[in-house]
Structure 1
């Protein structure tokens, strides 16, 4: 595949389960060696989209290529060149780390298996634990083992489905350091996550809700595009203040961040007029601030919840239509 050619170039991807459309006309282009973060609430269509991209699911509508192969007609070729890490640890807990990697390598029919396993162990910092049973590992070390298994066949594309759910902050940071190292070596990564700090470590983000792609680009671009006026306020009884502010004209969202409220609105003039009496109170400290990525997504979801005509399109977590 030519380096200038997009790793993924798809248009109009659509998928339904049981009469419910869980992916609705999604189009995207993904460049080589980049990390793309898939964000969105549970049941938004993230996992289904990932599975269509790597050939595990055939779309009901839409077309395009992944790694230069047609996603409909050449799914087998895509799967051979893709590493896919699921939410749930799926290796054998009664085998050692090395035995698990040996098994995965034999399933792929890999040549020079010893060299590949040794390389994966070293790259993920697992060499010193290679004789330890997988079932004895903590969540963070299981995560490393799962990632090692995903890259054993030297894929060109890595799909990670909420890989750090339930993992402690240090393990999450270590994991992301590994992801950036892999991307630096030319591997393209798509990762679904609920963590805003992880989204901020991606080169670009894609936000999906109700099966639709509603925001994409760099974090700076996404924040700038939505032009959300934001104020921060500190003071007593913020829970009561939040209720009052939410009723004011021009206030689209009020969200608590620790001991601070973020008050946001798309109409800057109306927002400032509404909060003016509160800014005059001596017990409250107000500051104009820049919206965070989380502010943008809270505002996006608030708008969708109020305008969506099909709330039943949201599939519950763990259903057949993730």
Structure 2
């Protein structure tokens, strides 16, 4: 493990921003810190950057006591949401800034700095723009400059704090794949903060999910999505439908529908979660949960189906341009969750 975070806690007055957080990141791993606002993810990133001092706990990087190092010697590159570029400097000057402000004995020569800037312009695909100023760039280009500046110091660790938060959805999607390729080429351990579930699941090698200052789950993107540890994780990682149920032996019962209980399900009263697009429809006399169809709306390649199930309004999703057979407003149908997850109440 390159990065080891052990028992980090941090409070602001009476507000505990981090509560005994421990996790690890492998060498050259892309680790996403995911959670809602106030979950502690940015505070943890700022602890790593040296912008905050924890109340307790330790951080080690390559076996070294990271918190004991002065910020300058940590060799951490950080990228913020709003770029933080110097408006009076050109692209090339912004990228070179971390090198030019080093003490004279540590500062590379002018020729080496120029070579490094040229190399980074190529890496972030901004060749030919080195003489422009930030005001002459698009939002996506400014973020690439910020990334190049962070990489110029050849950091041991790259910290990204919601780097796409100020960009529109289309640019975010375009830069997401590019960022992953950049990480792989740069070969640096990366810690990425986001509240965007799709972004974290698409980019990261592993995802650490935080809630109220605590780590609630850590794992590969597919593992945390397919096997959420808590109802919060299930609900946070995508749309969710929820109903009460009972597990007795190997049988899960929800209302008048019985099915095989998921492996390892707790016994007794449970909360049953399922994804609104992981369902099958059947006629009213078939198997599944009794549902009344209230409305149907086409949404591009999918169909939104508003239903009432056990008195609960739910928005279900049918894939494909055509409605499932027998589904229409005013009709009664059966809805069968294909992969229900259960949690103790």
What is the TM-score of this pair, normalised by structure 2?
0.67
Aligned residues: 263
Tell which has more relative contact order, 1 or 2 (C-alpha 8 A, sep 6+). Answer: 1
Match of 2:294 in 1: 236
> Is the CA contact 1:69–1:77 (under 8 Å) kept in the aligned structure 2?
no
Give the C-alpha shift of residue 128 in structure 1: 2.0
Please tell me whether residue 286 in structure 1 is matched to residue 312 in structure 2.
no
Greater per-residue strand proportion? 2
Is the radius of gyration larger for structure 1 or structure 2?
Answer: 2
Give the C-alpha shift of residue 239 in structure 1: 5.8
Match of 1:137 in 2: 137
Give the C-alpha shift of residue 86 in structure 1: 1.5
Match of 1:190 in 2: 191
Q: 1:56 to 1:153 in 2, by over 3 A?
A: same
Match of 1:267 in 2: none
Match of 1:224 in 2: 227
Cα distance in 2 for partners of 1:205, 1:18 equals 29
Match of 2:89 in 1: 95
> Is the CA contact 2:2–2:27 (under 8 Å) kept in the aligned structure 1?
yes
Please tell me whether residue 17 in structure 1 is matched to residue 12 in structure 2.
yes
Runs of 4+ in 1 over 4 A off after TM superposition: 281-285
Cα distance in 1 for partners of 2:309, 2:11 equals 39
Q: Which residues of structure 1 form unaligned runs of 5+?
A: 1-5, 247-253, 262-277, 308-322
Cα distance in 2 for partners of 1:56, 1:166 equals 22
Match of 1:42 in 2: 37
Q: The residue matched to 2:311 in structure 1 has which SS?
A: helix
> Is the CA contact 2:201–2:222 (under 8 Å) kept in the aligned structure 1?
no
After superposition, residues 1-322 of structure 1 pair within 5 angstroms as 6-76=1-71, 79=74, 81-108=75-102, 110-111=107-108, 112-185=112-185, 186-201=187-202, 202-222=204-224, 223-226=226-229, 229-232=273-276, 235-237=293-295, 241=308, 244-245=311-312, 256=315, 282-284=331-333, 286=335, 288-290=337-339
Give the C-alpha shift of residue 217 in structure 1: 0.6
What is the TM-score of this pair, normalised by structure 1?
0.71
> Is the CA contact 1:82–1:159 (under 8 Å) kept in the aligned structure 2?
yes
> Is the CA contact 1:87–1:165 (under 8 Å) kept in the aligned structure 2?
yes
CA RMSD of aligned residues (A): 3.2
Give the C-alpha shift of residue 37 in structure 1: 1.0
Give the C-alpha shift of residue 141 in structure 1: 0.9
CA deviation vs aligned residue, 1:4-38 (integer Å, no higher than 9, x gap): xx221121100011221110000011001211111
Give the C-alpha shift of residue 181 in structure 1: 2.6
Cα distance in 2 for partners of 1:162, 1:56 equals 16
Give the C-alpha shift of residue 208 in structure 1: 0.7
Q: The residue matched to 2:165 in structure 1 has which SS?
A: coil
